[in-house]
Amino acid sequence: MDIIRRGRLKKQIDESSLEFLQSLDADRWIFDADLLVDKAHTRMLLENKIISEKEASIILDGLKQIEEGGIEILELEAYEDIHACVESKLIELIGEEAGGRMHTARSRNDEVATCIRIALRREELKLIDYLNDLRGTILKRAEENVETLMPGFTHLQFAQPTTLAHHLLAHFDALSRDLERLDALYHRTNLSPLGAAAFASTSFPIDRDRTMELLGFEGLVENSMDAVSARDFLIEAISVFSIIMMHLSRLAEELILWSSQGFDMIELDDAVTSTSSIMPQKKNPDLAELIRAKTGTVYGDLTAVLTIMKAMPMSYNRDLQELTPHLLSAVTITKSSLRGMTKMIGGMRVKSESMRAKLDLGDLMATDLADTLVRECGIPFRTAHKIVGEVISEGRRIEELDEATLKEALDPALSVDRRKVTGGPSPREVRRMIDKRKKALSLT
Ligand code: ARG
């Protein structure tokens, strides 16, 4: 029971109310960060003579015991939150004479804001790693498939030939923008709110720059009221995660379609698929399906945090606590989805024969035919478009072109080869794009 801070209140907190106030998983997530903050704050108090050397050393010793014992030695369920719990444990271990001084010039409001930023920036670095693993894997698969012809789609209808490498690079480029977003997010996350105390800072002569430096922050969230109440970094994080998940979900959707019998373009590795409990023949893309589904959960987290924040007056309100579990949910899903996607892309078998065979169906060469008419007969593209449309719908023969030219116009490999413009699917252009991206990737 929390006995150290209920001086004003004459009763212990009601049991179910305590449960309602808690947010245990999110608190476990910030436990390490809380100890870092406690240590940095204590050192700063000492350096500025707000506590004595002896008191600081007793406190740091107690914190070390808690660190070594780990979260298991805490009775987290008995407290409102991790901050109260750690402070109480400290006082239990070293007594109130020294332990009771740790919270000088501090509030849980600046403490929790600092902890979330520390825990989140760590996750952001992991996400950057996982994202780069996926980008590297996509690039490798693209490199292997520069000449792999496949039907390109618009409206999910066969449209024009392209290559698998060209298609994969489109996903790569989207994920590269996600990387830029994560990078910007990291720098906005990595700022210290510590020293803001409840919201109006403190009358003790603390040094905010010092705790900022000790905790590896790049700067301060300067205004003490903004410092405790701002959560836009967290909302921005879930927004960035939502965009990453949207990209993963689109890719997942394609893996689901492409591995189905109707498309028959890839086969996913056995290690990342499931089977059916009744149909022995089944090999299902459950991992891809769950990435697609969990994208919805992350969007839900985003909607939740935006809605929780929208009418909150300055400065700290307990509502803020309700944000953290959504951040934890979104970050956990995004991490595991990135790893799952890397495995699926890395292990998928490309059915290049089956992909190539589709190019003989569905009139994918119609644009090339119209382009050839323009080139050979000097007619406007709109006229050529009409002629080819008739050829397809009425099955009439094309008399305007000789056999050899017609054959060339209808060759999918040549079609792809002809598209040499910047960003196009011709193998030479795709190789150029891959080389450029490989260089950029090796720098990240
Ligand atoms: N667990 C709380 C949170 O996540 C810590 C801050 C509590 N502060 C307070 N004044 N009740 O926001």
When pLDDT is averaged across residues 325-340 and rounded to a whole number, the result is 98
Higher pLDDT: 119 or 272? It is: 119
Identify the structural domains of the chain with CATH numbers, from first to last.
Answer: 15-104 (1.10.275.10), 109-144+163-201+216-355 (1.20.200.10), 362-433 (no CATH)
d(CA 146, CA 427): 6
Cβ neighbours for 368, distance < 8 A, ≥ 6 positions apart = 160, 409, 410, 415, 418
Question: Considering the chain, what percentage of its residues have pLDDT values greater than 70?
Answer: 99
CA 276 to chain centre: 30
Rounded to a whole number of angstroms, the CA Rg of the chain reads 30
When pLDDT is averaged across residues 288-292 and rounded to a whole number, the result is 98
Where does the pLDDT of residue 4 fall: very low under 50, low under 70, confident under 90, or very high at 90 and above?
low
CA-closest residue to ligand 1 atom 2 = 321
Cβ neighbours for 67, distance < 8 A, ≥ 6 positions apart = 35
| Half-sphere exposure for 302 (CA within 13 Å, toward CB) | 19
113: nearest Cα among 21, 3, 224, 25 = 224
* Omega before 315 within 30 of 0, i.e. cis: yes
Cβ neighbours for 105, distance < 8 A, ≥ 6 positions apart = 45, 50, 195, 197, 202, 204, 206
Measuring CA to CA, how many Å separate 437 from each of 32, 140, 169, 372, 441? 37, 11, 9, 33, 6
Per-residue pLDDT, 1? 61
Q: Tell how far the Cα of 74 is from the centroid of ligand 1, in angstroms.
A: 18
CA torsion, ordered 423, 426, 432, 436, to nearest 10 deg? 40
Where does the pLDDT of residue 316 fall: very low under 50, low under 70, confident under 90, or very high at 90 and above?
very high
Is residue 401 pLDDT above 80, yes or no?
yes
Q: Is 302 exposed, middle or buried (0-12, 13-18, 19+ CB in 10 A)?
A: buried
Per-residue pLDDT, 6? 76
Contact in structure between 275 and 283 (CB atoms under 8 Å): yes
Position 57, amino acid? S
Per-residue pLDDT, 395? 81
CA-closest residue to ligand 1 atom 3 = 321
- Supply φ then ψ for residue 21, to 5 degrees: -80, -15
Q: Is 313 exposed, middle or buried (0-12, 13-18, 19+ CB in 10 A)?
A: exposed
Active site residue 276: yes
d(CA 34, CA 255): 41
Average pLDDT of the residues of the chain: 96
Beta bridge partners of 1: none
Angle at 339 between CA 334 and CA 343, to 5 degrees: 145
Per-residue pLDDT, 8? 85
Q: Is 300 exposed, middle or buried (0-12, 13-18, 19+ CB in 10 A)?
A: middle
When pLDDT is averaged across residues 394-407 and rounded to a whole number, the result is 86
Is residue 51 pLDDT above 90, yes or no?
yes
Q: What residue ranges line ligand 1, CB within 6 angstroms?
A: 81, 83, 108-109, 112, 316, 318, 320-321, 324
pLDDT, one tens digit per residue, over 370-392 is: 999 999 999 999 999 999 999 88
Is residue 3 pLDDT above 60, yes or no?
no
Per-residue pLDDT, 2? 67
d(CA 126, CA 120): 10
Cβ neighbours for 352, distance < 8 A, ≥ 6 positions apart = 145, 148, 149, 164
Where does the pLDDT of residue 430 fall: very low under 50, low under 70, confident under 90, or very high at 90 and above?
very high
When pLDDT is averaged across residues 93-115 and rounded to a whole number, the result is 98
Least confident range from 10-14, 150-154, 240-244: namely 10-14
Q: Tell how far the Cα of 37 is from the centroid of ligand 1, in angstroms.
A: 15
Is residue 279 pLDDT above 70, yes or no?
yes
Query: In a mutational test of the pocket of ligand 1, which residue from 20, 81, 82, 309 has the highest number of ligand atoms less than 8 Å from its CB?
Result: 81
Q: Tell how far the Cα of 386 is from the centroid of ligand 1, in angstroms.
A: 69
Is residue 399 pLDDT above 90, yes or no?
no
Per-residue pLDDT, 276? 87
Can you tell me whether residue 170 is helix, strand or coil?
Answer: helix
Measured from the Cα of 198, ligand 1's closest atom is 10
Where does the pLDDT of residue 181 fall: very low under 50, low under 70, confident under 90, or very high at 90 and above?
very high
When pLDDT is averaged across residues 150-155 and rounded to a whole number, the result is 97
Instruction: Extract the tokens encoding 296.
Output: 């919805």
What is the value of pTM for the model shown?
Answer: 0.96
pLDDT, one tens digit per residue, over 56-101 is: 999 999 999 999 999 999 999 999 999 999 999 999 999 999 999 9
Per-residue pLDDT, 7? 80
Is residue 192 pLDDT above 70, yes or no?
yes
Concatenate the DSSP letters of all residues of 196-256 into one string: -TTTT--SS---HHHHHHHTT-SEE--SHHHHHH--HHHHHHHHHHHHHHHHHHHHHHHHH
Q: Tell how far the Cα of 209 is from the centroid of ligand 1, in angstroms.
A: 23
Measuring CA to CA, how many Å separate 231 from each of 24, 30, 87, 314, 322? 20, 16, 25, 12, 11
Secondary structure letter of residue 157 according to DSSP: E
Query: In a mutational test of the pocket of ligand 1, which residue from 109, 228, 315 has the highest number of ligand atoms less than 8 Å from its CB?
Result: 109
Q: Tell how far the Cα of 317 is from the centroid of ligand 1, in angstroms.
A: 8
Measured from the Cα of 26, ligand 1's closest atom is 4
Q: Is 117 exposed, middle or buried (0-12, 13-18, 19+ CB in 10 A)?
A: buried
CA-closest residue to ligand 1 atom 4 = 321
Q: Is 244 exposed, middle or buried (0-12, 13-18, 19+ CB in 10 A)?
A: buried
Per-residue pLDDT, 444? 66
Q: Tell how far the Cα of 321 is from the centroid of ligand 1, in angstroms.
A: 6
* Active-site entry in 167, 242, 276, 329: 276
Is residue 5 pLDDT above 80, yes or no?
no
Active site residue 155: yes
Secondary structure letter of residue 274 according to DSSP: B
